[in-house]
A and B are shown apart, each in its own frame.
Chain A
């Protein structure tokens, strides 16, 4: 539901990162990393990105989303695994003190600008 705000933040960060010496820059590819636990709906985000990008260097950019698995580590036995469902109990020792290693990412990794 807050994808428009997220899209606006992404656009601000991306446009700020363009080196000032480039005249009429055009971003061709925007690479994002989004964890599977992040409260962002990919379809909505793409839709909002299109609207936000209009009349900016991001217009027409291809948005590439690297979806990041939810990974966890058991604090009790050290076992690491990919969490597939919404269950966060260690499959090795059934302990419940679990540390999240990944899955909450919502990051811009890079831009590709037309030469």
Chain B
């Protein structure tokens, strides 16, 4: 006997993500999901971003790691509200799922926030698949990785609304071809804005900050 089902396997996550999206819309909080491989400099980029946009844009951060609160501690030092999710309590998950965001967002005073940034687990595969109820996604790639990462992980770059090419201050010391990396990103996602910057020296930050601020202001 055949039983037709026709159900999406991740329907439970998608339903929760939609619930989150409605909740964040009511609170007029713009939610940015930041993703990358481990070590691309997400946290440092965020620290420098926070120091530029606050207090004008009131920002909170949810940061995901399998273990440790190191990243939340670094982000709190900027004066932002930062909450750590350790996924070892959820089985060491390789991504943040919508239910984790729903639970953690309650710890934040969303009525007094304009922007919530979710720093996802360092991983270019799994986080791409899991909607968390965000308004936009930004993927960070650094020049110490391969130029062909966008081609190897197309879903991540295809679904991103913007990309950052980080650590450009290291370009003189590497064989990395920045143009090729950017071409690969825009091959997977034509038209996607790519910001070439260095979180260490803060060169190239202006266009990225302008993009982020215009996105946030469009919602509040």
Taking beta carbons and an 8 Å cutoff, which residues of A are in contact with B? Answer: 1-2, 4-6, 9-10, 13-14, 17-19, 37-40, 85-89, 95-98, 100, 104-113, 115
Q: Once the chains bind, are A111 and B5 in contact (CB under 8 Å)?
A: yes
Knowing A2-B95, A2-B129, A88-B158, say if A108 contacts B7 (CB, 8 Å).
yes
Residues of A contacting B130 with CB < 8 Å?
A: 2
CB within 8 Å of A: which B88-117 residues: 91, 93-95
Q: Once the chains bind, are B154 and A37 in contact (CB under 8 Å)?
A: yes
Sampled A-B contacts (5; CB under 8 Å) = A1-B126, A17-B3, A85-B151, A107-B7, A109-B5
Knowing A1-B94, A37-B155, say if A17 contacts B190 (CB, 8 Å).
no
Residues of B contacting A112 with CB < 8 Å?
A: 1-3
Residue B126 contacts which of A2, A9, A19, A95 (CB distance < 8 angstroms)? A2
Knowing A2-B93, A19-B3, A111-B2, say if A89 contacts B8 (CB, 8 Å).
no
With most chain A CB atoms within 10 A of its CB, the pick from B7, B95, B130 is B7
Knowing A1-B125, A14-B5, A39-B126, say if A98 contacts B190 (CB, 8 Å).
yes
Q: Once the chains bind, are B4 and A109 in contact (CB under 8 Å)?
A: yes
Knowing A2-B94, A9-B12, A39-B128, say if A88 contacts B190 (CB, 8 Å).
yes
Residues of A contacting B5 with CB < 8 Å?
A: 13-14, 17, 108-111
Residue B188 contacts which of A4, A19, A87, A108 (CB distance < 8 angstroms)? A87
Q: Once the chains bind, are A39 and B155 in contact (CB under 8 Å)?
A: yes
Closest to B187 in A: A87
With most chain A CB atoms within 10 A of its CB, the pick from B9, B11, B123 is B9
Taking beta carbons and an 8 Å cutoff, which residues of B are in contact with A? Answer: 1-12, 91, 93-95, 123, 125-126, 128-130, 150-152, 154-155, 158, 186-191
User: A79 CA to B138 CA in the complex, in Å?
Assistant: 28
Q: Once the chains bind, are A97 and B190 in contact (CB under 8 Å)?
A: yes
Q: Once the chains bind, are A10 and B2 in contact (CB under 8 Å)?
A: no
Residues of B contacting A85 with CB < 8 Å?
A: 151
Q: Once the chains bind, are B125 and A39 in contact (CB under 8 Å)?
A: yes
Residues of A contacting B91 with CB < 8 Å?
A: 4-5
Q: Once the chains bind, are A113 and B1 in contact (CB under 8 Å)?
A: yes
Q: Once the chains bind, are A86 and B151 in contact (CB under 8 Å)?
A: yes
Residues of A contacting B125 with CB < 8 Å?
A: 1, 39
User: A5 CA to B1 CA in the complex, in Å?
Assistant: 27
Residues of A contacting B190 with CB < 8 Å?
A: 88-89, 95-98
Q: Once the chains bind, are B9 and A107 in contact (CB under 8 Å)?
A: yes
Q: What distance in Å separates the Cβ of A109 from its nearest Cβ neighbour in chain B? A: 6
Closest to B186 in A: A96
Q: What distance in Å separates the Cβ of A102 from its nearest Cβ neighbour in chain B? A: 13
Q: Once the chains bind, are A110 and B3 in contact (CB under 8 Å)?
A: yes
Q: What distance in Å separates the Cβ of A88 from its nearest Cβ neighbour in chain B? A: 6
Q: What distance in Å separates the Cβ of B51 from its nearest Cβ neighbour in chain A? A: 33
Knowing A2-B129, A37-B155, A97-B190, say if A107 contacts B8 (CB, 8 Å).
yes
Q: Once the chains bind, are A96 and B94 in contact (CB under 8 Å)?
A: no
Residues of B contacting A98 with CB < 8 Å?
A: 190
User: A115 CA to B94 CA in the complex, in Å?
Assistant: 40
